Amino acid sequence: MKYTMIMLSILFITDVGTCLGIDQSICNPGSEITYHPNGKLKTCTLKDNFAINNVNCKQYAPINLYETGMLESCVTSDYFNYGEITCNQYSQVSFYSTGKLNTCDLSKTIQIDGKTCAQFESISLFENGKLKSCSTPH
């Protein structure tokens, strides 16, 4: 009996996980939707704000996903914190396929790798987290 209940619980959790997968239901009806060769969602315009990988993506803005379902890029609906970096709301944020931050617009001036990066300007990181580029304050 105990074994049966455990197996039913696992099946239920697995089934719920499948139902909660990212699919075209997050997309604005009538917007262009593209898919990866494996059939998973690649790009579309969001119908509502959508939270993925700790990022709140903005309604009516494009979202791009990797084949794995990880977020590639979107426009944020809120500030996004990534370690010491705070990305500005309503700006584009992009990630490597590993989930590490690639680019975003800064919400405030920050010191990173000995360089001062300006508020509201874009920052670009290497996948290892080291600074690739940013604009300095004027």
Tokens of 115: 């360089």
CA distances to 13, 40, 66, 102, 113 from 73, rounded to whole Å, are: 29, 16, 9, 9, 24
Residue 137 has a pLDDT of 82
Q: How far is CA 56 from the centre of its chain?
A: 8
Residue 13 has a pLDDT of 34
Cα 138 from Cα 102, distance rounded (Å):
24
Render pLDDT for 76-119 as a digit per residue (tens, 0 to 9).
Answer: 999 999 999 999 999 999 999 999 999 999 999 999 999 999 99
Render pLDDT for 34-60 as a digit per residue (tens, 0 to 9).
Answer: 999 999 999 999 999 999 999 999 999
Q: Is 0.85 surpassed by the pTM of this model?
A: no
| pLDDT surpassing 60 at residue 15 | no
